[in-house]
Amino acid sequence: PKYELIKEIIRERNAQNLTQKQFADKVGIKQSNISRLESGNCNPSIDFLQKIARAFGKELHIEFRQVQ
């Protein structure tokens, strides 16, 4: 799930034609935090993910799914 989330964040940032710096400014954090997130070198909090979702103009939804 962690890497799926990272891929989705990168995909959305690229879809909005934002550099890491531009996106970090939009979120209100340092570019290095976006870099760490996208490289998988951090464990983001729910609050941090909510900030990212808001910056994308989206809502954050977390769910449990049945294992198949």
Nearest to 59 by CA among 46, 42, 45: 46
pTM: 0.87
Helix, strand or coil for residue 42?
coil
CB-CB contact of 20 with 55 (8 Å): no
pLDDT of residue 1: 81
pLDDT, tens only, 5-58:
999 999 999 999 999 999 999 999 999 999 999 999 999 999 999 999 999 999
For residue 64 the two structure tokens come to 């449990």
